């Protein structure tokens, strides 16, 4: 499921991507969206991206913008539109900060 470059980076330095693949307990809003009680941040992002593609939520005029439906809006701070560059940051807000 991971691209080859990510797999290579993970094997070379497991701590570098560790917080992306660690399973965490999800808050209720994200749990309802994903359908699981635990998931990694990377897995969650993949589920959200899959939902966007399946429901054709990308703006046809600007593919860098996602038009949020009600379900997606519930996990993206109620925003009606989101830039693709904002998506990882908005998903990251649902995950607890790891110890440094």
CATH class of domain segment(s) 4-92:
mainly alpha
Mean pLDDT of 73-77: 90
**Paired strand residues for 83:** 65
The two three-digit tokens of residue 67, written as one number: 């038009």
Residue ranges covered by each domain of the chain: 4-92
- Cβ–Cβ < 8 Å for 30, 94: yes
| pLDDT tens, position by position, 17-69 | 556 666 777 778 888 888 888 888 888 888 999 999 999 999 999 999 999 99
């Amino acid at each position: 499921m991971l691209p080859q470059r990510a797999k290579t980076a993970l094997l070379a330095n497991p701590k570098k991507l560790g917080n992306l693949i660690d399973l965490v307990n999800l808050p209720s809003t994200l749990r309802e969206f994903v359908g699981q009680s635990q998931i990694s941040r990377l897995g969650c992002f993949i589920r959200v991206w899959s939902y966007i593609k399946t429901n054709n939520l990308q703006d046809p005029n600007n593919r860098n913008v996602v038009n949020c439906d009600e379900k997606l809006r519930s996990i993206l701070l109620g925003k009606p539109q989101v830039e693709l560059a904002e998506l990882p940051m908005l998903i990251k807000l649902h995950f607890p900060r790891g110890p440094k």
